[in-house]
């Protein structure tokens, strides 16, 4: 072995660097343990302890360099959200709002139709929004000119009446790109001030999308507000309740008249329909009469119901908007004109925005709801009457004048507030506004919702103001953060979201570690048993070194370790055994040929290189495809798989060789098989190709069954592919799925999908309720409805707040919008297609024979179809999820990588055997090659299967479906490499030879 010194030096340095990088994780865990002991279960005390340690030196590396706790925390291994808990959010900057603002909110019909059409196109397209808008504009009116809309005062230097549509679109694109970059910087500033350890914020490839990962975050509502708020701050003068009430009375009367007309019209239409169908269905008429008679005889508080119905009929507006009066009917002072339940606010808006109703109110009057509810239950919201005092309808003062904002307390020092400082221009306007409105209120509106409406006691000079009525210091800090970071150029909406609770994350760590330890131990024991204490121990040392290298490299690269990442590492353990197995089997062949131990080791390593490299490279290519097209945990899986393949190659080839060289120098005896396994599957003479037709029939039947199930039953697509929301909820007692489903059907306007998730006290709830709604508070609204349904069903206590629900009961949640689900489907299809093409081309180049490539790809298609068919056939029959999601795509690609690895090893031996026996029949050479690799196939497949079985049994519910696909894939892939890939290559080769011979004749 050449360059032993260089290889040994590199191995020692790599181990030292790995230990150095992992030492930061060890030290960080020590500090966190000290914090837990100090806090005694109090999270606030634990946070303060760790915060106080941020600047303290906690690690002195051999006196060479000192590290503070902040440094150590940044250098420790990053844990993914599924292990640590937290939020993973994909934001979409609303480019449409930027374009609207650039047009000065044009009311041009063609322009607005084009925006609406662009929204439709965006759902199923990869193009950026500006491109889609340009296509939509031309589609709506090919002769329309964008210049007539965008020739505004702000753009007059770049857009003229003679500018072409292409020129205008270029200007729009530059402006929107700048706005998106600005939005990204603002979000990054907000997150930096939020105080999250190791946040990850990056712009994604699709323009306008921003990924935000916040490990350890518990309050998702707070994060949603922080990320989605545009910080559009406005100051408005207000109307008094007494001034507005007469208009409300007129509006109520008008609505009553309109409803009466609509009811009369509906009754007339219904009577006409009944007359037309009466003769056709007398049975239905009799049934209806019987039902009415039964209803009239029932006694269910009918009087109360009638009274409520009469009230709603006479006072339709006040039935959903309670006026601001006391018990005696006296009107309250201030700008609050009434209050409504959260579910009724949209109804009130529809009434007040109706053109016939709107005309009853003064033109300078507009309405806005309060951001915070007026009751502890969070159900009632006030409606505030604002006064428009400017010609353009804009607020007299907005957030552009704010130069500083900070969290503070009121004069009593007990209630948190946000103090704001204005520039000189803003200070003048603020002084005038307060002077003219003494005794009245000024509403402070943020992102369309009234945050406070303080009464002005006197003129306020100096440009100082404050926002009061805040519930907590955290809310005040976040609001000050948002205002200080600056106004977003356009709202950013959450289109994908993953939330994992800390308890579920800890369970994932525990289950992941258990599966890892069990799998690792089983492989070590197996190698010692099968390959004796000499060769087995060398392989085990290489495996331990491999694990050290993987974790060290992950830590040094700043990569994130996820639960699928742990699965990737454990899978790497099983697959890295393959290199050792190939080498050991080759060495044994050389020993049986009569060579000495030293020469046998040298030749064994040299002859195994080709199969090792071919097999590992194909799997490596699959990992690269996964990394390119995957996201989040799937990218983490691909990262560990790629690193694991590279380190396992180095460990299996070089570290074991160094150990054997050392043993040879000592003169010790080296055994490469134990007495119990030495003759196992040795010298077999199975005629595989003779049995290929039987295999074709078996595989054909399985494929027909799979295709039939796919056509009839289809696949159970996860929300990755169809969009929606999922919630994992854990209760205090076991629950029945049907009961939970029925309780939630009431609040979600239809039954969601509910499945047991792990134990019987935990369920996974999937719904597409309001998934197309991009409003800022829709996620919080859906969570509130989920909690309400579970309360009414008696699954959780009536006194549980939303914060308690998300902290205690809701273990995790996920949201995928329809736009991003389309992108995921497209990327998954590209990943599988690209992987197949790469594998085919690699085999074609390496073996220079297209028949081998065809056989390999046919085997891969065979494996994929059977795994898909099994997932279709068994969906709903097994106690774990068999959804088709991103994790399943990763599993399929991993199966393809494993299967092709096995196939390539067989092909490599066939090529070698044919080179040694060129005159022998191809069937004999192929059968001999497959028989000679049978021991290797058995060892690799068994060790990999055992590893995956450990993950399946102990890895937790979150990856059971993923590992089940891998388990099936290992079995099917091993079978296809012998009974599908090689026979198809053989049959196509014979057919080609027959055609050539026929042409010669």
**Tens of pLDDT, residues 746-794:** 888 788 888 787 677 888 888 888 877 767 677 888 888 888 889 888 8
Of the listed ranges 273-287, 448-462, 581-595, the one predicted with least confidence: 273-287
Going by pLDDT thresholds of 50, 70 and 90, the confidence category of residue 276 is very low
Judge if pTM exceeds 0.85. Answer: no
Query: 759 in helix, strand or coil?
Result: strand
pLDDT, mean of residues 402-419: 79
pLDDT, mean of residues 697-726: 87
Determine what percent of the chain is predicted with pLDDT higher than 90.
10
pLDDT, mean of residues 106-132: 84
Of the listed ranges 17-26, 276-285, 560-569, 661-670, the one predicted with least confidence: 276-285
Going by pLDDT thresholds of 50, 70 and 90, the confidence category of residue 250 is very high
pLDDT at res. 306: 54
Q: How far is CA 9 from CA 5, 384, 905, in A?
A: 6, 74, 31
CB neighbours of 705 closer than 8 A, spacing ≥ 6? 869, 873
Helix (H) or strand (E) holding 513: helix 502-557
pLDDT at res. 631: 65
pLDDT at res. 820: 65
The residue with greater pLDDT, 637 or 117, is 117
Q: Is the pLDDT of residue 293 over 60?
A: no
Range(s) for CATH 3.30.70.3400 in the chain? 724-816
pLDDT at res. 699: 93
- Where do the H-state alpha helices sit in 103-240? 109-122, 129-140, 147-150, 165-194, 220-228
Q: Is the pLDDT of residue 188 over 80?
A: no
Of the listed ranges 491-500, 726-735, 859-868, 987-996, the one predicted with least confidence: 491-500
pLDDT at res. 266: 56
pLDDT at res. 377: 59
pLDDT at res. 876: 76
Going by pLDDT thresholds of 50, 70 and 90, the confidence category of residue 178 is confident
At 814, give phi and psi (nearest 5°): -145, 140
Q: Is the pLDDT of residue 318 over 80?
A: yes
The residue with greater pLDDT, 694 or 342, is 694
Mean pLDDT is highest, among 350-354, 485-489, 882-886, for: 350-354
Going by pLDDT thresholds of 50, 70 and 90, the confidence category of residue 698 is very high
pLDDT, mean of residues 255-263: 82
Q: Which two tokens stand for residue 905?
A: 């090893």
The residue with greater pLDDT, 165 or 479, is 165
Going by pLDDT thresholds of 50, 70 and 90, the confidence category of residue 304 is very low
Contact 810, 729 (CB under 8 A): yes
CATH code that applies to domain 724-816: 3.30.70.3400
Average pLDDT, the chain: 81
Contact 915, 928 (CB under 8 A): no
pLDDT at res. 291: 35
Of the listed ranges 66-70, 694-698, 816-820, 933-937, the one predicted with least confidence: 816-820
Q: Is the pLDDT of residue 45 over 80?
A: no
E strands, 673-828, in order: 724-730, 753-757, 759-767, 810-816
pLDDT at res. 339: 92
The secondary structure of residue 817, as a DSSP letter, is -
Going by pLDDT thresholds of 50, 70 and 90, the confidence category of residue 385 is very high
Contact 583, 608 (CB under 8 A): yes
- Rounded to an integer, what distance in angstroms lies between the CA atom of residue 791 and that of residue 341? 18
Mean pLDDT is highest, among 219-223, 253-257, 474-478, 768-772, for: 253-257
- What is the β-pairing status of strands 336-341 and 753-757? unpaired
Q: Is the pLDDT of residue 912 over 60?
A: yes
Q: Which residues pair with 762 in a beta bridge?
A: 730
Q: Which residues pair with 717 in a beta bridge?
A: 884
pLDDT at res. 837: 82
Q: Is the pLDDT of residue 985 over 70?
A: yes
Half-sphere exposure of residue 608, counting CA atoms within 13 Å on the CB side?
A: 29
Determine what percent of the chain is predicted with pLDDT higher than 70.
87
pLDDT at res. 303: 45
Contact 227, 214 (CB under 8 A): no
The secondary structure of residue 769, as a DSSP letter, is T
pLDDT, mean of residues 500-519: 69
What CATH number does domain 236-270+311-484 carry, 3.40.50.10860, 3.20.20.100, 3.30.1360.200, 2.60.40.680? 3.30.1360.200
pLDDT, mean of residues 190-195: 66
Range(s) for CATH 3.30.1360.200 in the chain? 236-270+311-484
């Amino acid at each position: 072995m050449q360059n032993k010194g260089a290889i040994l030096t590199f191995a020692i340095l790599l181990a030292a660097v790995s230990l150095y990088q992992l030492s930061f994780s060890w030290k960080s865990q020590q500090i966190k343990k000290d914090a837990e002991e100090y806090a005694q279960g109090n999270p606030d005390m634990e946070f303060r302890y760790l915060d106080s340690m941020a600047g303290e030196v906690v690690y002195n590396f051999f006196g060479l360099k000192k590290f503070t706790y902040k440094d150590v925390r940044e250098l420790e291994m990053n844990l993914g959200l599924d292990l640590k808990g937290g939020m993973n959010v994909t934001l979409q900057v609303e480019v449409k709002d930027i374009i609207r603002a650039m047009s000065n909110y044009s009311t041009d019909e063609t322009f607005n139709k084009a925006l609406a059409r662009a929204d439709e196109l965006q759902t199923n397209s990869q193009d950026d929004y500006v491109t889609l808008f340009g296509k939509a504009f031309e589609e709506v009116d090919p002769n329309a000119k964008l210049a007539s809309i965008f020739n505004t005062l702000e753009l007059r230097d770049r857009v003229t009446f003679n500018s072409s549509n292409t020129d205008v679109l270029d200007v729009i694109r530059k402006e929107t790109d700048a706005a998106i970059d600005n939005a990204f910087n603002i979000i990054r500033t907000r997150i930096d001030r939020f105080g999250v350890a190791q946040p990850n914020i990056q712009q994604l490839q699709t323009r306008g999308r921003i990924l935000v990962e916040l490990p350890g975050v518990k309050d998702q509502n707070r994060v949603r507000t922080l990320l989605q708020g545009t910080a559009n701050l406005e100051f408005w003068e207000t109307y008094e309740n007494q001034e507005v009430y007469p208009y409300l009375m007129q509006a109520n009367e008008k609505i009553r008249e309109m409803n009466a007309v609509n009811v009369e019209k509906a009754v007339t239409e219904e009577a006409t329909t009944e007359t037309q169908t009466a003769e056709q269905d007398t049975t239905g008429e009799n049934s209806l009469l019987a039902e009415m008679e039964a209803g009239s005889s029932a006694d269910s508080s009918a009087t109360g119901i009638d009274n409520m119905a009469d009230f709603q009929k006479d006072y339709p507006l006040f039935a959903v908007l309670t006026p601001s009066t006391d018990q005696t009917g006296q009107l309250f002072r201030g700008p609050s004109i009434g209050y409504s339940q959260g579910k009724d606010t949209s109804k009130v808006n529809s009434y007040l925005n109706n053109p016939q109703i709107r005309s009853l109110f003064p033109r300078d009057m507009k309405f806005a709801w309060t951001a915070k509810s007026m009751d502890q239950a969070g159900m009632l919201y006030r409606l505030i009457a604002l006064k428009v005092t400017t010609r353009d309808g804009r607020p007299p003062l907005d957030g552009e004048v704010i130069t500083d904002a900070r969290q503070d307390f009121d004069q009593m020092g007990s209630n948190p507030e946000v103090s704001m400082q204005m520039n000189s221009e803003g200070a003048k306007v603020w002084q005038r506004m307060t002077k003219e409105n003494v005794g009245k209120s000024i509403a402070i509106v943020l992102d369309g919702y009234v945050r406070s409406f303080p009464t002005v006691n006197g003129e306020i000079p100096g440009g100082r103001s404050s926002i009061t009525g805040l519930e907590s210091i955290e809310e005040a800090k976040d609001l000050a953060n948002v205002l200080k970071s600056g106004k977003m150029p356009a709202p950013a909406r959450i289109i994908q979201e993953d939330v994992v609770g800390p308890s579920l994350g800890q369970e994932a760590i525990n289950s992941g570690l258990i599966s890892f330890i069990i799998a690792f131990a089983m492989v070590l024991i197996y190698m010692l048993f099968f390959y004796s204490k000499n060769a087995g121990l060398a392989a085990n040392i290489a495996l331990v070194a491999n694990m050290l290298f993987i974790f060290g490299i992950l830590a040094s690269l700043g990569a994130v370790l996820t639960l699928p990442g742990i699965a990737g590492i454990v899978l790497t353990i099983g697959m890295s055994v393959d290199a050792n197995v190939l080498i050991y089997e080759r060495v044994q062949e050389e020993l049986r040929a009569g060579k000495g131990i030293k020469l046998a080791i040298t030749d064994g390593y040299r002859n195994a290189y080709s199969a090792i490299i071919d097999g590992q490279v194909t799997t490596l290519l699959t990992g690269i495809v996964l990394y390119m097209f995957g996201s989040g945990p799937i990218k983490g899986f691909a990262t560990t798989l790629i690193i694991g393949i590279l380190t396992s190659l180095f460990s299996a080839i070089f570290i074991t060789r160094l150990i054997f060289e050392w043993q040879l120098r000592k003169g010790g005896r080296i055994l490469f098989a134990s007495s119990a396994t030495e003759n196992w599957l040795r010298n077999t003479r199975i005629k595989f190709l003779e049995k290929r037709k039987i295999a074709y029939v078996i595989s054909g039947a399985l494929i027909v069954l799979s295709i039939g199930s796919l056509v009839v039953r289809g696949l159970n697509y996860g929300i990755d592919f169809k969009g929606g929301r999922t919630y994992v909820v854990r209760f205090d007692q076991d629950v029945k799925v049907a009961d939970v489903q029925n309780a939630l059907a009431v609040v979600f306007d239809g039954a969601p999908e509910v499945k047991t998730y792990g134990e019987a006290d935990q369920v996974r709830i999937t719904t597409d309720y309001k998934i197309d709604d991009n409003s800022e508070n829709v996620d919080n609204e859906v969570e509130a409805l989920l909690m309400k349904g579970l309360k009414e069903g008696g699954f959780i206590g009536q006194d549980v707040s939303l914060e308690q629900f998300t902290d205690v009961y809701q273990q995790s949640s996920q949201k995928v919008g329809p736009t991003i689900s389309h992108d995921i489907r497209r990327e998954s299809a590209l990943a599988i297609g690209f992987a197949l093409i790469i594998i085919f081309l690699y085999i074609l180049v390496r073996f220079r024979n297209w028949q081998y490539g065809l056989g390999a790809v046919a085997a891969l298609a065979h494996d994929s179809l059977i795994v898909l068919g099994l997932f279709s056939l068994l969906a709903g029959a097994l106690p774990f999820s068999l959804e088709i999601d991103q994790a399943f795509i990763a599993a399929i690609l991993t199966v393809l990588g494993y299967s092709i690895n096995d196939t390539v090893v067989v092909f490599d031996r066939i090529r070698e055997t044919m080179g040694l026996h060129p005159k022998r029949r191809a069937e004999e050479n192929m059968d001999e090659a497959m028989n000679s690799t049978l021991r290797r196939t058995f060892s690799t497949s068994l060790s990999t299967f055992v590893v995956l079985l450990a993950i399946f049994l102990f890895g937790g519910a979150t990856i059971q479906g993923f590992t089940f696909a891998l388990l099936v894939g290992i079995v099917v892939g091993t079978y296809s490499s012998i009974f599908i890939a090689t026979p198809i290559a053989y049959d196509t080769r014979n057919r080609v030879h027959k055609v050539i011979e026929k042409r010669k004749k």
